[in-house]
């Protein structure tokens, strides 16, 4: 009997944002291969006896090379095990989940994709920034500010002009360069911009500024953070009070 690999998105941070299907898969797991941004409370949903294997994925530090991850998933499934490949957010948004699925498909190994709530959308949302809004922005572009891939750098000014809202993941370290490209490309320095750190977690922090002020405002920002540039950022002023009230209602009482 051959096993199966579930490529599961763990959601953006708060463990309660894992999907029901993701939870079902975790509860069946013999082996969980997880990435750095996965919350411990999500990992705890796997059976106690399940093997937990950390696959890393920090910008310059990979405990397991991508090829080794592919082989590990394939081997465990071939041994009949139920394998959960657990990734932050959605597995197909900058998570190399596509490469893993391609590899498993080529090997003829059974797998399922379990989508997750991506930080690209959920983190601005949790901070009170809608990515689209009538009369403000009818599209958004999501880009990676840093990758280890040899692909050419995205054309940030064109993406922002075309979409109206630009969302940058993995952008903290490259922020000065990204801002310089946008300004060189003729984007108005007064365009609203925000950095949301640790989105959906208890230590979520939001900085709201303009494109011109973004580098200074974010000088002590730490990954993981999502950067949003565009007029939608202004909506936070009106949306945030309600979001704060809801959070208060939701907070466990008595401690
Ligand atoms: N597949 C993931 C993204 C992986 S790339 C997803 O769909 O969410 C990792 C980047 O995601 C981080 O560098 C950061 O930009 C963003 N990110 C993930 N979790 C985050 C969080 N809780 N708060 C802010 N940004 C987060």
Torsion from C-alpha of 106, 86, 12, 179, nearest 10 degrees: -50
Residue 253 confidence (pLDDT): 45
Q: What is the pLDDT of residue 152?
A: 85
Ligand 1 atom closest to residue 171's alpha carbon, by position in its atom list = 15
* Cα 208 to ligand 1 centre (Å): 19
Tens digit of each residue's pLDDT, the chain (255 residues):
689 999 999 999 999 999 999 999 999 999 999 999 999 999 999 999 999 999 986 656 667 899 999 999 999 999 999 999 999 999 999 989 999 999 999 999 999 999 999 999 999 999 999 999 999 999 999 999 987 777 788 999 999 999 999 999 999 999 999 999 999 999 999 999 999 999 999 999 999 999 999 999 999 999 999 999 999 999 999 997 776 666 666 655 443
Minimum CA distance residue for ligand 1 atom 13? 170
Q: Which of 10, 86, 222, 226 to mutate to test the pocket of ligand 1 (most atoms within 8 A of CB)?
A: 226
> Can you give the pLDDT at residue 56?
82
**pLDDT value, residue 255:** 34
Q: What is the pLDDT of residue 209?
A: 97
Tell me phi and psi for residue 209, to 5 degrees: -155, -155
**How many other CB atoms are found less than 10 A from the CB of residue 169?**
23
CA of 64 to the centre of ligand 1 (A): 20
Q: What is the pTM of this model?
A: 0.93
220 exposure class (CB count in 10 Å sphere: 0-12, 13-18, 19+) = exposed
Alpha helices in 29-113 (DSSP H): 40-43, 66-78, 97-107
Q: For residue 93, what are its two tokens?
A: 């948004």
Of all helices (H) and strands (E), which one includes residue 41? helix 40-43
Q: Which residues line ligand 1 (CB under 6 A)?
A: 12-13, 37, 87-90, 93-95, 118-120, 123, 169-170, 196, 198-201, 223-226
- Nearest alpha carbon to residue 8 among 101, 80, 72: 101
pLDDT at 240: 78
Which residue's CA is minimally distant from atom 11 of ligand 1?
Answer: 169
Report the largest interatomic distance among the alpha carbons of the chain, rounded to a whole angstrom.
61
Number of CB atoms found within 10 A of residue 218's CB: 22
From 18, 35, 88, 173, mutation site for ligand 1 pocket: most ligand atoms within 8 A of C-beta: 88
Query: What's the confidence (pLDDT) of residue 151?
Result: 79
Helix or strand run (H / E) with residue 63? none
User: Ligand 1 centre from 252 Cα, in Å?
Assistant: 26
**Residue given tokens 């990954």 in the structure block:** 223
CA gap 254, 240 in Å, rounded: 25
CA of 144 to the centre of ligand 1 (A): 10
d(CA 132, CA 164): 9
Residues noted as catalytic: 35, 57, 170
Residue 126 CB neighbours (<10 A): 22
């Amino acid at each position: 009997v051959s096993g199966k690999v579930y490529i599961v998105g763990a959601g953006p941070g708060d463990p309660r944002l894992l999907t029901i299907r993701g939870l079902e898969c975790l509860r069946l797991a013999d082996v969980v291969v997880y990435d750095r941004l996965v919350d411990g409370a999500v990992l705890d949903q796997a059976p106690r006896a399940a093997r937990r294997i950390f696959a890393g994925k920090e910008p310059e530090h990979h405990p397991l090379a991508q090829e080794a991850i592919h082989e590990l998933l394939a081997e465990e499934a071939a041994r009949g095990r139920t394998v959960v490949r657990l990734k932050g957010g959605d597995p197909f948004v900058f998570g190399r989940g596509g490469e893993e699925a391609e590899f498993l498909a080529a090997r003829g190994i059974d797998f399922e994709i379990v989508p997750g709530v991506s930080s690209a959308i959920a983190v601005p949302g949790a901070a009170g920034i809608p990515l689209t809004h009538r009369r403000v922005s009818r599209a958004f572009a999501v880009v990676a500010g840093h990758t280890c891939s040899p692909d050419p750098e995205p054309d940030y000014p064109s993406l922002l002009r075309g979409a109206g809202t630009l969302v940058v993941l993995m952008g903290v370290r490259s922020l000065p360069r990204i801002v310089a490209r946008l300004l060189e490309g003729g984007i108005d320095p007064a365009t609203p911009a925000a950095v949301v750190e640790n989105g959906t977690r208890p230590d979520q922090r939001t900085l709201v500024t303009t494109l011109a002020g973004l580098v200074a405002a974010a000088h002590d920002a730490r990954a993981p953070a999502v950067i949003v540039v565009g007029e939608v950022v202004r909506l936070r002023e009106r949306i945030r009070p309600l979001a704060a009230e809801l959070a208060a209602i939701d907070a466990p009482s008595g401690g």
